[in-house]
Structure formats: C-alpha cells, structure tokens
Amino acid sequence: MHHPPLDDRRPERRPRPWIRVLVPAALILVWLTGASFGGPLFGKVSEVSSNDQTTYLPESADATRVQEAQSDFSESDAIPAIAVFTGDGELSEDDLARIGDALDAAAGLDAVDGDVSRALPSDDGIAAQAFVPIDADADIGDAIAELGDVLREAAPAGVEVLLTGPAGFTADLAAGFAGIDGLLLGVALAAVLVILVLVYRSALLPIVVLSTSLFALCTALLVVWWLAKAEVLLLSGQTQGILFILVIGAATDYSLLLVARFREELRTVDDRGTALLRAVRGSVEPIVASGGTVIAGLLCLLLSDLKSNSTLGPVASIGIVFAMLAALTFLPALLFAFGRAAFWPRVPRATDQGTSRGWARVAELVSRRPRSVWILTALVLFAGAAFVPHLQADGVPQSDLVLGASEARDGQTALGEHFPGGSGSPANVIVPEDALQDAADILLAEDGVTDVTVTTADSPSGSAPVTADGITAIGAPEPPAPTVSDGDVLLQATLADAADSEAAAQTVRDLRVSLDDVGAIVGGVTATAIDTNDASIHDRNLIIPVVLAVILVILMLLLRAVVAPIMLMATTVLSFGTALGVSALIFDHVLEFPGADPAVPLFGFVFLVALGIDYNIFLMTRVREESLAHGTQEGIRRGLTVTGGVITSAGIVLAATFAALSVIPILFLVQIAFIVAFGVLLDTFVVRTLLVPALATDIGRVIWWPSKLSRRAR
C-alpha cells in the first residue's frame, strides 16, 4: 500500500460544510453554462473557416501578391471549375450542340458567378472542356454537386462529365473534412469510452472522465469559434480536426492522472474531501507542467511563415488550457459529488493493494539490470530511426490530398489525356506594362508553356492570345488593349503539364528566374503549392530547434536539475526518430502513399515531443517526490511502480484519439494520425517504461545535478 513520501505533513483543516458544497456546485454550473453555449457550434465551424491554401501563405510570397493583385483585373473573385466532357469516340456536331445547351442550363444556377465559356473541343475530337466560374461565397461542395447534376442530365448519351479545376478540388477537400463534426468526434469519444471502461471497470467513472473531456472541448470551441468569427484567428478543417483530438486526448490524460491520485488518497484517508484536496495538490504540478510544455511547443508555431501552421499554435493552445482547467476544476467537483461511489463496484478501501504486481516486476527488472535494459532498448530505437531518410516529405500533388475516390482527380486525368495538362489552372504573371512583350517572349520560349493570353477589356472572352510578334485577337481587326492596373498587366500561361505535377513546378521555378529581370511575379495554383512547400520546409528547419530549446528550459525549471532534462529530451527525440522511421516504411511499402507534406514531420515533432514529454513529466515528478524521501534508486523504482498503470492508460487513450483522425480521408491527417499514435505508444510502453528509468537508474543521483538531491544518498 502506498504511503505519502513525506511524513511531516501538517494536519489539514477541513473547510466549512457549506463551502464544501457550494464551490463544487458553482464549478459544475459554470462548466454547464460554457458547454451549453459551445455545444451548438459543432457543425457550424465551416461558417468561420477556410481551406483556401492562398489564404494561409505569407504576405510576402509571390503567389499571395499575385492573388491579391488579380482582383484589380477582374470584378469577380469566382473560383473556376473545369467541366470535362469525354465520349466513347469523336464528339459529333450534335454532341457539341447538346453540350452547349447543358452549359447554358448551368449558367442559370445561383452559384455560377459570371459567364460560362463555350465548349472547347480537343485536338483529337474525343473531349471538350468548358470553364464555369463558381461564386467564392457559395458552398463550393453543394455548388459543384448541383452543377454536376445539371450537366449530366443535359449531356448527350455516352458522354461522361467530370468536374475538376480549383473548384473541383476545393469540393473534394470540403467532402473530406465533412466528417469532422460527426464521424471524427463520434469515433474518438467511442474509443476513449471503451478504453476507460476497460481501465476502471466502473459504471460511473468513465462517464465522469469523458464528460470532463467533452465539456473542455465545448468550451474551447466556444472561444475559438468567436475568435475566428472576429477574424482574430484563422481556422481550417485541418486545424479543427487537430483541436478536437488534442482536447479530448489531453483532457482525458490529465483526468486519468487526477483520478489515480484520488483513488490513491482514498486508501489512506476516510474523508473524500481531504482525499480530493490532497489529490489535486499532488496533481497540479505535473498537469500544469505537462500542459505548459504542450502549449509552449504549440506556440513555437507562431514563428511559422505559413498561417496554416502559425494559427494552429494559439487555437490548439486554447484547447489545452481548457483541458487543464476542466481536469483541475470540473472533474474534482464531479468526484466530490460522487465520492467513493464513482469507483463502484471497485470502491477503494484502506485495505486495498495500492500498486500493480506487474508494474512492480517491471520496476524490479529495471532496478536489477539497468544498463542491459537501456542499451538494448536504445539499439532497437536507433534501428527504427535509421529509416528517417526514407520519408519523402517534400510535398504531394493537390490531386493526392484526398484519399479514395475523387472526381476532380479523375477529371484532371481526363483533361491531361486530351488537352495541355495545365488547362484551367494557368500560371498567372503580373508584369509591368512596359515589359509586356519581353515577358510574353520569355513565356512563349519556355518548353513547359503551351500558350499565353493577356487580360483585355475589349475581348469578348476577357483575354487575347499572345504571339512572339505581339498581341492578337481572333476576329478582331486590331489587337485589343490589355487591361492595366497600377502600371501592371496580367498574363496567363497555360502549362504543358498538370498544375500539381513536379514538371509544372519546375516550369514555374524556371519562369520565376527568367522573369525576374523584367520585374514580373508568378502566381497561380502551381506557384501556390511551391510557395507553400518552401515555407513549410523553412518552418520545419526553424521551429524544431526552438521547440527543443523551450521544452528543455521548462524541464530544467520543473525538475530543478540539468542532467535529467537533457536525458529526457534525448530519449524523446530518439523516440520521435523511431516513430518517423517506422512511419516512412509503412507509408512507402504498406500504404503506398505518394509522399508527404513538408509540414508532416514538423507537426509530428511538435505533438510527439510535447506530448511524449508529458509522460516523462508524470513519471519524473513522482520519482523526484519519492527520491526526496527514499533516495534516487528507490525513488525511481517506486515512481515507476506507482505511475505505471495510469501513464499506460493515458498513452493508450491519446494514441486512440489521434488514430481516430484516420477516419478523415485527408492524406495529411492520416499520416499525422499514424505518426503520433505509434509514437505515443512507443513512448508509453518502451521509452517511459524501460529506457528512461533504466538510464536514470544507471546514472544514479547525478541526474538531479546541480540540485541538493544529487548529493543525497538517502
């Protein structure tokens, strides 16, 4: 049976009976109020969020500058959809006429913002394409679905209709993120509930802990939603999904720690209020330190050039704050209200055995042969980390962002078979008016460009083709004048390759070098992807060292030592490397993913290091507490024995919640789900169970250097 490590605790004064009742009741009422306002916002996050990549680019990026300048050349900010019509053989005149009728019908839809182009047949005559501008303020997913229904109904028999282009891929992303409010949340909560039932084998306690997590999420969502509505924060489907998982997982972990301490204290005192007060006092430091570490790591994302990364920092930090608050206020209030009955039918008594025999045997093994244990464990981890270079994290095509079936991807494939690959997603070039012809010559000389048009005011289509001899317009007696804005002209270059291909990216990079001499800047879909990947790589190289330094300082302050924090950081980084290496093998040879976004290692690092350190904090704060009374060697053994069960349960819960992200068919989220879930389990069962305690035991009391504890044998 566990006894408090310090025997000189002063007698605790019990608060007055009315205070003991009023404070928990008030806390429960406050959280009920917050959750009642935050709960209805599930399903409404899309009203204050955006998945447009350009929105999240740095303001200095060329793609961002071009996007902002494009509004000066057109009154509409519509998102183009490309309708691709393919037949079994060559399209007849009658087929093309009926396709034209279908496009006329589509032009009357409310979501269509502007003129629908005529159907343009391919050179082989088998396909035709048309451009349909979709209102940027409309629900893109619904608009594309309605447009597809209209076109398919009016299209000739035997002609397949596919919708692609920027609007088509946006609709795919919207469909992929559609399950966040329902499916993701349901799977995560169900997984946590099952694990809690198995851990506690209680009827009431799993509901109490799960309610704490859900109330924390509802209240956090309330704050985040209104900040996003006020445009203080940027939200995307990706950020929303991570927020949900992070709050549920963290709040449950903190609750498990407090409940374990409460059950421990109930075995030493009869009064539930006294036991709860002791439990809260013993849990505040590790919970606040763990939450503070996660928040510090997340806030390092503010250094990111990409707004999609930098905005995740404060959004997720708000979630962690409410996870800590709920675990330290709402949960204790509920536990006080239910008392020992919360644990029924396994009600803790003073005669109960306080620790698990299994964890006692593990602790005994580590104490008896520490050097053999940590060397063998480290070798296995290093073997996994050796495969990190196999992770292809240099970006993936837009068409591969959504897993499973994709009409936009199929449409792009069909487009590439019959038209230039970059049709509908041109490279947009802003060039000074006096350098227009020089820029046109450079564009036309590039092998990866098939044709170039210039935005004009007089041309019926709003643009005219460009040749090496100057601007010409079909059927016009004289070349129309280009539209000029602040002395600049907009050129659009159709790329020979698909806009999200590596070949198109290389073409745009080459154009940027060539056009720099004439003062032109290049934007568009391909340029946006390039700038996003470049910014992600910059963020990864900058933020990872900063996160390491910040968390190391926090650990030194928490443990009042230097050696132990360095040891903990080294083992956590090794664990992350192993998780990344194993993930690379799984992604390449089992799941056969096309690659990974450059932000995947960054997000995986921030989550795994910040969350993985949590378990080391839970362990080492207890080890330090026990070491003050029993010495370092015995303190490590006792700390591992006492915390083994609760930390393992917490790790399984967190891994299960992050694994739930894989139900959203977005490549980035599925990869993050695997890396973090596997890494957390690795931390829980290998690093915190074997490597850290064995290494600490082998080093001895020197781990507490330079504190006085490093000089105490007992």
Higher pLDDT, 544 or 460: 544
- Section 356-374 average pLDDT: 84
Alpha-helical regions (H) of 586-598: none
Q: Which of 51-60, 185-194, 341-350 has the highest mean pLDDT?
A: 185-194
Residues paired with 83 in a beta bridge: 130, 163
Cβ atoms of 432 and 187 within 8 Å: the answer is: no
Is the pLDDT confidence value at 502 over 70? yes
- Angular region, 86: left φ>0, alpha ψ -120 to 50, beta rest: beta
Give how far Cα 107 sits from Cα of 100, 360, 648, Å. 11, 73, 59
pLDDT score recorded for residue 264: 85
Residues paired with 524 in a beta bridge: 427
Task: Check whether the bond before 345 is cis (ω within 30° of 0).
Answer: yes
Name the phi and psi angles at 490, rounded to 5: -100, 120
Rounded to whole angstroms, the Cα distance separating 595 from 72 reads 37
Token pair 């804005």 in the structure block, residue: 485
Which H/E stretch holds residue 527?
A: helix 525-559
- The beta strands (E) that lie in 507-574 are given as 521-524
Rounded to whole angstroms, the Cα distance separating 507 from 448 reads 6
Is the pLDDT confidence value at 475 over 50? no
Note the pLDDT tens digit of each residue in 643-689.
888 888 888 988 998 898 888 888 988 999 999 999 999 988 898 88
Radius of gyration over alpha carbons of the chain, in Å?
A: 30
Q: Which two tokens stand for residue 632?
A: 């370092």
- Section 556-582 average pLDDT: 90
- Section 699-711 average pLDDT: 81
Rounded to whole angstroms, the Cα distance separating 415 from 82 reads 9
Per-residue pLDDT band at 170 (split at 50, 70, 90): confident
Average pLDDT of every residue of the chain: 84
Cβ atoms of 228 and 48 within 8 Å: the answer is: yes
By three-state DSSP, how is residue 553 classified? helix
- Section 379-389 average pLDDT: 94
Residues paired with 129 in a beta bridge: 84, 120
Q: Which of 110-114, 234-238, 427-431 has the lowest mean pLDDT?
A: 234-238
Contacts of 107 (CB under 8 A, 6+ apart): 115, 116
Which pTM was predicted? 0.83
Is the pLDDT confidence value at 339 over 90? no
Is the pLDDT confidence value at 506 over 90? yes
Note the pLDDT tens digit of each residue in 47-58.
777 766 666 677
Cβ atoms of 79 and 167 within 8 Å: the answer is: yes
What 8-state DSSP symbol labels residue 394?
A: S
pLDDT score recorded for residue 426: 86
Q: For 582, how many CA atoms within 13 A lie in the half-sphere containing its CB?
A: 20
pLDDT score recorded for residue 560: 85
Note the pLDDT tens digit of each residue in 265-298.
888 888 888 889 999 988 898 889 888 888 988 9
- Section 203-212 average pLDDT: 92
pLDDT score recorded for residue 7: 42
Token pair 């070349």 in the structure block, residue: 479
Cβ atoms of 452 and 444 within 8 Å: the answer is: yes
